[in-house]
Amino acid sequence: MDMQSLKQSMPDAVEKPKTFCGIPEAQFLEDVDSFMKEQGPDATVELILKRLEEQHQKYKFMEMNLLSRKKRLKSQIPDIQGSLKIVRQMQEQKGKPGVISSHFLLSDQVYAKAETIPSDTVCLWLGANVMLEYSLEDAEKLLSENLSNAEKNHGQVDHDLDFLRDQFTTVEVNMARVYNWDVKRRQAAKAAAATAL
């Protein structure tokens, strides 16, 4: 199930249509009594609590997706920075006689030593089994843009997570308010029945 279908299936009764970066904003229930009356005669406390719990679970799912994205970006940024550093070093060595000696990562914790002659081009691994050859200037431009975008996206994900935590709190408070309203209503009904006898 994707994020868009989750957002569309959120209950209308407990949210505003307003969204923040695609995350629906939870509506705070100020007056539980009037809210319950608006739900109609068929709406029970159990049904409302179930809807709120579903909304809470959907926020949890969104949080899981955002945390996964944050982790991916967090590992991507150092890789881009490393590639950019190498391209800049190659630009400094361009046109100079001799060889460039370097160590490169083969796999986790395994490095190999290589000696290469200075070059005007570099091959960048783009992922999905795709590698392209770029001039050093084009490679630096591409990597700089990718780094800027990754850092911007990382900041946005942090901001989205903060907003999402506020929505968790709002839904949890709403659940407590509806539950407490029901307890008070039952106590009042029990007291009224006792005085009628």
Which structural domain, as residue segments, surrounds residue 132?
42-93+120-167
Residue 115 covered by a domain: no
d(CA 181, CA 174): 10
pLDDT 10s digits, 54-82:
999 999 999 999 999 999 999 999 999 99
pLDDT 10s digits, 165-189:
999 999 999 999 999 999 998 898 8
Residue 133 covered by a domain: yes
pLDDT 10s digits, 75-114:
999 999 999 998 998 888 887 888 888 887 788 889 999 8
* Look-up of token digits 């009037």: 34
Q: What's the predicted TM-score (pTM) here? A: 0.72
Domain count, the chain: 1
Residue 57 covered by a domain: yes
Residue 196 covered by a domain: no
Residue 106 covered by a domain: no
Residue 34 covered by a domain: no
Find the CATH number of the domain harbouring 159: 1.10.287.370
Residue 32: how many CB atoms within 10 A of its CB?
Answer: 19
| Residues in the chain, total | 197
